Structures are given as C-alpha cells and as structure tokens.
Amino acid sequence: MAWPTSSGFGEPAALYRPQLPDRTTLPDLRGQPVTGLPGVGPKIEKALKDLGIGSLADLVSHYPSRHEDLSNVKRISDLRVGEKATVVGRVVKTKPVGRPVRGRSPGFSVQLYDGTGYIPAVVWGRQWLAGLLVPETMVLVSGEVQRRYGIQLAAKTVEVVDDPDTVQDNAHAGRFVPVYPVNKNIQARRMRTLIHRALDEAGHVLDPLPAEVLFRHNLVSLDEAIREVHFPTARPALRQALRRLVFHELFLIQTGLAARKARLERTEAGRSHRGDGSLLNPFIKGLPFGLTGAQERVMEELLADLRAEKPMRRLVQGDVGSGKTVVAVAALLSAVESGGQGALMAPTEVLAEQHYLSVSGALENLPVNVVLLTGSQGAAERRAALEQVRSGAAHVVIGTHALIQKAVEFRDLSLVVVDEQHRFGVSQRTVFKEKGAATPDTLVMTATPIPRTLSLTLYGDLEVSVIDELPPGRKPVETRMVDLSGRDEAYEAVRNELEEGRQAYVICPLVEESEALEDVRAAEELFEELAGEIFPDRRVGLLHGRMKAPEKREVMAAFRAGEIEVLVATVVVEVGVDVPNASAIVIEGAERFGLSQLHQLRGRVCRGLHPPKCYLVGDPRTDDARSRLEALCELQDGFKLSEVDLTIRGEGTLFGSRQSGMPDLKVAKLLRDIEVLVEARKEAFGLVAKDPTLKSPVHRPLRREVRELLGANVEWLFRE
C-alpha cells in the first residue's frame, strides 16, 4: 500500500515511518506496556499511569488537547504595550519575582526567546510550573504586554508546545503545533518523544474500519491520522486527521450500540399485542380534547411497535406539557386489551400519585383496574396491591421504583412505561426484563429535551419518537428575571393572578442534597414569610421532600382542588405535576437551578388557558448563571434551550459514562460533530445489519476494537 500523501508539503511525515512497516493493531498495542520503551523508568511509568497511560496504545492515543496555529502567534519583536498577545518561544531562564503579598502567592519570571527577540513573561502563583520550564523548553504564552521596569508579558496561560523535531528556533514557520496540557510530572517534550517511539515500535497501525467505509467518507487511514495529530504537517492534513479520529470514535460506539440492539432482537422473545380497540377506542373518544397531530403520529408508532413480535424499545421525547401521558395510557390499554399487564413507573411519589389519580379517573368507565404501588404505602395496603399484581387482577400498575423491587411479581407483565426517564439510571430500564418470560415492551418518556445528537447516542439502541407539537391554545410563559429589589413586584403580580381566582407556585431556592435538613428549614422559612407577611389573606401551603407521603398527598389534593392558592414547594414539583389552574410561578434563588430544571419548573404553569407568568428571582453572579436565566427569558422551546444548555455546560457532564453506559468521548464533540455522528451511525448500523456478530474476517479487527472500547461487560455482544 502506498502512503497517502495529503499535504502539499512532500513527505515530511515519512520521518516517523520506518522503512519497512510492521503492521500492528491498536488492540495489539494495548497489550504492550509502556515500560517496554527505552527511557521509561519507574518515575516516568508512574507519571504516565497518573494520566491513565499504561500501554503503547494509550500512549499513541494521548492526543493533544488542541493545535495552535503558529501563524496567529506574534513575534516578540512586534509586541506592543497594552495588547493581548500569544507568543511561542524557548525558555532562556527562569527566576523568582516578588515576595508573597497577602492574598497573592509569589510568582516567577521566565525569559523567552523566539528568534526575533527576548521578553520576560511573568507568571503569578503556579510555582510548580517554574520547575518544568527548564531552558530550551518550547512554550506558548498568552497574556497582556505591559510596561513595568521594561516590557513584560503578564502571562495568563502558559502551555508547553514542545515539538523538538519540527519547531526549530524559528517558530514562525506558519505551522500547527500540538498543545498539551502542562503536566506536573512529565514534560511535553518527553511525552512526545515517547509517542514517537511508540509509533516507531508500532510500525504501521492497522485500520479496523472497512476500506469501503473509508472510501465512502473520504477518510484518511488511522495510521496517518494518528501521526498527523501528534506531528502535524499542514492545516488540511490536520483537519483530515481530526475528522478521521472523530469518525473513528463515533463509529466504534455506534457499532457497539448497533450490535447490542441486534443481539437483543436476535435473542429476545417478544410478544405481539393485537388489541381489538375495545378499551383504546372508548378512551380516546372520551377525552375532553382531540389529540394533536403529533400525539396521533406517536401513538400510531407505539401501536405498530406493540403489534410487532420483537420487543418494543422506544423513547418518546416531548417537551413539557406536550401530552405524553395520554399517549402512554393508550399504549397501556392496548397491552391490557391483549391480556397483559402494564406498568407505569414515575421518578417521584408525588408524580406517581398524580398519574394514579388522573389515569384511574380517565379510565373510570372502562373495565380496567388501576393499582398504585409506592414505597410509602402502609403494610396492609401494599400487601393488597402486591396480591392484585400477582393474581393479574391489576391491569395497570402505577408506582415509583418500588415497582421493580424483588417482592413485586407480575402475572403477565407485557408493557413497561418509564416516565421522565432522565431521572432514572440506564440500568433500571433493564431490570424488568427478569420479571417475565417474554421481554416486556418498553416505552421510556422524557421531557428533558435531549438534543438530537444526544438522543442518537445516549439512547442509541432506542427508537425515538418525538411529540413536536403542543396542544392548541398554549400560551408562551411570560418570563422575567428580577433581582431582590424587584421581588415585591413579582409577588404583586402573583396577587393579581390570585384575585382572578387562579393559583401560583413559589419554588424555594435549591439547597445541596447533602443539606436536606437545611432544605426543609429554608422551605419553612419561605413559607412563614409568604403566609405571614406577603399573603396573610390567602391560603398558602407547603410541600417539600421530607414530608411523609400522606401529608404530601393531602397538600397536593388541596392544591388541585383550589383550597390552597399558593403552594410553596421545593423541587418535588419539578416533574410532571399538572394543575391547570395554576398560572404563575415564582422561582426563588433561580440562579442556582440548572436550565432544564428551570424549564421543567416553568412548565408547571403552561397548561391552563390564561397567559402564564414566571418570575426568576435571583442574583446571578456568574456569566453562566446569567446566560441560563437570559436564555430562559428568551426561549420557550425546550429543544432550543437544551442546545443552549449544552453549549453553556460543555458536554462532559451529559455524556458521563455512568449515565449512559458508554465510554466518554475523547476527541468527538457531539454538538460540533453532529454531521459526522450521523454518517458514522448510518455506516455502523448498516454494517451490523449485514454482519450482526461481525464474524466476517474483514470485520474481526473492528469487533476486537469495539469489544475493548466497551469493556468486558459487553463480552456477550458478539456471541451468536
């Protein structure tokens, strides 16, 4: 095979390629410890281990955090006082400056030379850095050029860009240099030497991706991509390399997901629900409203899944208030029609209770027995419920996670609906599987709008249905941010609502979970203030997480009945609580809530017919908090809000491996790389459709990669 040349720069990368390439795969390299490399003693081994690097494979895939375009870098001789600039230069020497002043640790000054001139860069604090910046180290420093005893650079960031082979004394060759985060124990230069050696050792890194996939998507080989990101030659080549690595990462994950799905479909006996409409039709007819187009479409999708032999695995995504419950009930009825039992699981008791009330109410005139099962029921009540579930007398069981405890035995569970799925872990989704002979159909619902990217990956083995339409007549919630001085005004507006006969929520500031008692105290204080000072003439109620279930039940019932006009509550009302007469919500300490939580809270008041109002009381001190609140004031659409959220928060927290069961992303970024993700997903699913266990010899390297990536817990994936 000829080396593809992607740059117009001749073959500089050939420097790193041995004359007669041996061929190795990344998994092979995983078997080779770094200690096999010359120059890796116990100290370096330890430093590498701290970075999670144990094998040659880890080493070659320890990618730079970014690349700096050196053409954007200033020559030292061109620096002007007052400007912010980035320079790259070699360390000449370092020396301490200043004495420890109160509140400020001493710093050091590092003399830099870039071939055009010298400048001292002053670094405050970060003493440990000084030891790393030994003479000759190539560093990238950004900061402001100041005049203070001569010109100096007040360094804001210092990064090591050492590239001994390519960045010579003239740092302005108009090239990219890899930037690695500075690490205390191992110098970038050393790291790169090791990576270089590891690549030498590897010879040619074999590509696990099928050639046709590479061809179709115009991807460079893995070997070329790895070398290019570590030792970039030119901008286009680097771009190609990064694209390849992103594709690579996403493709492997998607192949794993596709294989998991294929495996489940192969091995699970599902159940075909062929309901006769005897329950469903009267239910739909009896609704006080017509279904929206989106509800109808999603309902049809669900019914088709239910009819099919294979187990349903579907996610229904719909913004707050889009009417997911009706659709879920329709599915449950269809399961009951064909003789099975349905379960509806909610994340909180308040919500389970509410579902129980509304579902049993809606089914009053139908021969369907709805049973509630929660953790806080009395022993006798619980025993009776369990007995009905076991005997099959209970057709629809509604509850909290108490539903999936061992003691709960179903006679014939055939559909499970998990509401507000984002509140549950992924593992809980599967527990039901052990509870019946055939795998029950599963429907998960979420209101936390997940951007398309995430639903493709996080729920990658689920089909996704979207209710992308709100019932008619929904008014946008007028949302305002008020600071503490505007608080009275907000409550004045609430008073107007109350005078019109409507109701309001007041949400207590969020307190860390570890301080649950604090939480109660804060809630009680706010309650006192509202009941005693702000609305002494109104009926004010209190609801918080520490209350006993019957108490909570009473309060919710009173609020629903209009006996309580103002409900002071902690976030227990966040999900799903539905009281259409409530038309205003005041969120105290709004800056402490996450964006999706705020959106959920606001969703409590978009259900009635009156123009609803939301007041965000708070004092956002950080830019992030301010952006969140501003976004909320501007946007109503949960999907847009969650894209904003993702941008503000970054992606790491959303794609945590514990949440998703998938590995964290190293190079890909979901929002940025959505297009690549879609391509990779299509290819991966197509490939698995043709060869579900990847048993063809061409696919074997791929199989090995996926298996290693996803870890031992998916060993079973490729068994036939």
CB closer to ligand ADP, 118 vs 289:
289
Choosing from 412, 554, 578, 637, the residue that interacts with ligand ADP (CB under 6 A) is 578
Q: List b or e across 99-108, with b for residues whose CB sees 16 or more CB atoms inside 10 angstroms.
A: eeeeeeeebb
- For the bound state, the minimum distance from the C-beta of residue 326 to ligand ADP, rounded and expressed in Å, comes to 5
Q: Stretches 60-68, 128-136, 276-284, 321-329: which one binds ligand ADP (CB under 6 A)? A: 321-329
Choosing from 187, 240, 254, 322, the residue that interacts with ligand ADP (CB under 6 A) is 322
Choosing from 55, 255, 295, 503, the residue that interacts with ligand ADP (CB under 6 A) is 295
Q: Is 233 a residue that touches ligand ADP (CB under 6 A)?
A: no
CB closer to ligand ADP, 40 vs 601:
601
- For the bound state, the minimum distance from the C-beta of residue 617 to ligand ADP, rounded and expressed in Å, comes to 24
Choosing from 256, 440, 576, 612, the residue that interacts with ligand ADP (CB under 6 A) is 576
295 binds, among ligand ADP, Mg ion, none (CB under 5 to 8 A by kind): ligand ADP
- For the bound state, the minimum distance from the C-beta of residue 333 to ligand ADP, rounded and expressed in Å, comes to 15
Q: Is 289 a residue that touches ligand ADP (CB under 6 A)?
A: yes
Q: Stretches 131-139, 324-332, 552-560, 637-645: which one binds ligand ADP (CB under 6 A)? A: 324-332
CA–CA dist 375, 162 (Å, integer): 59
Q: Is 542 helix (H, G, I), strand (E, B) or coil?
A: strand
Shortest Cβ contact with ligand ADP: which residue? 323
Number of shown-chain residues binding ligand ADP (CB under 6 A): 18
CB closer to ligand ADP, 320 vs 717:
320
DSSP strand E in 264-304: where?
none
Q: Are the CB atoms for 488 and 623 separated by under 8 Å?
A: no
CA–CA dist 419, 400 (Å, integer): 10
Q: Is 323 a residue that touches Mg ion (CB under 5 A)?
A: no
Q: Is 516 helix (H, G, I), strand (E, B) or coil?
A: helix
Q: Is 580 a residue that touches ligand ADP (CB under 6 A)?
A: yes
Q: Is 576 a residue that touches Mg ion (CB under 5 A)?
A: yes
Q: How many CB atoms lie within 10 A of CB 118?
A: 13
Residue in 162, 165, 144, 180 with CA at minimum distance from that of residue 63: 180
CB closer to ligand ADP, 204 vs 324:
324
- For the bound state, the minimum distance from the C-beta of residue 688 to ligand ADP, rounded and expressed in Å, comes to 33
Q: Is 249 helix (H, G, I), strand (E, B) or coil?
A: helix
CA–CA dist 545, 367 (Å, integer): 35
Q: State the angle between helix axes of 700-710 and 235-267 in degrees (0 to 180), rounded to the nearest 10.
A: 80
CA–CA dist 364, 239 (Å, integer): 62
Choosing from 401, 502, 607, 681, the residue that interacts with ligand ADP (CB under 6 A) is 607
Q: Stretches 23-31, 320-328, 432-440, 699-707: which one binds ligand ADP (CB under 6 A)? A: 320-328
291 binds, among ligand ADP, Mg ion, none (CB under 5 to 8 A by kind): ligand ADP
Q: Are the CB atoms for 449 and 464 separated by under 8 Å?
A: no
Q: Retrieve residue 222's tokens.
A: 């893995």
326 binds, among ligand ADP, Mg ion, none (CB under 5 to 8 A by kind): ligand ADP
CB closer to ligand ADP, 228 vs 469:
469
699 binds, among ligand ADP, Mg ion, none (CB under 5 to 8 A by kind): none
Write out the DSSP string of 135-172.
TT-EEEEEEEEEESSSEEEEEEEEEE---TTT--S---
Q: Stretches 108-116, 134-142, 318-326, 646-654: which one binds ligand ADP (CB under 6 A)? A: 318-326
Q: Is 344 a residue that touches ligand ADP (CB under 6 A)?
A: no
CA–CA dist 646, 653 (Å, integer): 9
Q: Is 296 a residue that touches ligand ADP (CB under 6 A)?
A: no
The residue type found at 720 is E
The interface with ligand ADP within residues 471-510 (CB under 6 A) comprises 471
662 binds, among ligand ADP, Mg ion, none (CB under 5 to 8 A by kind): none
Q: Are the CB atoms for 336 and 654 separated by under 8 Å?
A: no
- For the bound state, the minimum distance from the C-beta of residue 321 to ligand ADP, rounded and expressed in Å, comes to 5
Q: Are the CB atoms for 68 and 79 separated by under 8 Å?
A: no
Percentages of the chain per state (helix, strand, coil), in multiples of 5: 45, 20, 40
Q: Is 320 a residue that touches ligand ADP (CB under 6 A)?
A: yes
- Write out 175-230 in H/E/C secondary structure: CEEEEECCCCCCCHHHHHHHHHHHHHHHCEECCCCCHHHHHHCCCCCHHHHHHHHH
CB closer to Mg ion, 232 vs 576:
576
CA–CA dist 359, 370 (Å, integer): 8
CB closer to Mg ion, 444 vs 668:
444
Q: Is 342 a residue that touches Mg ion (CB under 5 A)?
A: no
Q: Is 324 a residue that touches ligand ADP (CB under 6 A)?
A: yes
- For the bound state, the minimum distance from the C-beta of residue 418 to ligand ADP, rounded and expressed in Å, comes to 13
Angle at 146 between CA 142 and CA 150, to 5 degrees: 120
702 binds, among ligand ADP, Mg ion, none (CB under 5 to 8 A by kind): none
- For the bound state, the minimum distance from the C-beta of residue 328 to ligand ADP, rounded and expressed in Å, comes to 8
Q: Stretches 49-57, 569-577, 596-604, 637-645: which one binds Mg ion (CB under 5 A)? A: 569-577
- For the bound state, the minimum distance from the C-beta of residue 354 to Mg ion, rounded and expressed in Å, comes to 9
CB closer to Mg ion, 248 vs 560:
560
Q: How many CB atoms lie within 10 A of CB 622?
A: 9
Q: Is 321 a residue that touches ligand ADP (CB under 6 A)?
A: yes
Shortest Cβ contact with Mg ion: which residue? 576
Residue in 400, 286, 395 with CA at minimum distance from that of residue 335: 395
Q: Is 321 a residue that touches Mg ion (CB under 5 A)?
A: no
Choosing from 318, 436, 451, 509, the residue that interacts with ligand ADP (CB under 6 A) is 318
Q: Is 292 a residue that touches ligand ADP (CB under 6 A)?
A: yes
Angle at 26 between CA 21 and CA 30, to 5 degrees: 120
Number of shown-chain residues binding Mg ion (CB under 5 A): 1
- Write out 339-371 in H/E/C secondary structure: CCEEEEECCCHHHHHHHHHHHHHHCCCCCCCEE
CA dihedral 448, 452, 454, 456 (to 10 degrees): 120
Q: Is 421 a residue that touches ligand ADP (CB under 6 A)?
A: no
Angle at 17 between CA 13 and CA 18, to 5 degrees: 155
Q: Stretches 498-506, 537-545, 549-557, 576-584: which one binds ligand ADP (CB under 6 A)? A: 576-584
Q: How many CB atoms lie within 10 A of CB 418?
A: 25
CB closer to ligand ADP, 468 vs 529:
468
Residues that bind Mg ion (CB under 5 A): 576
Residues that bind ligand ADP (CB under 6 A): 289, 291-292, 295, 318, 320-326, 447, 471, 576, 578, 580, 607
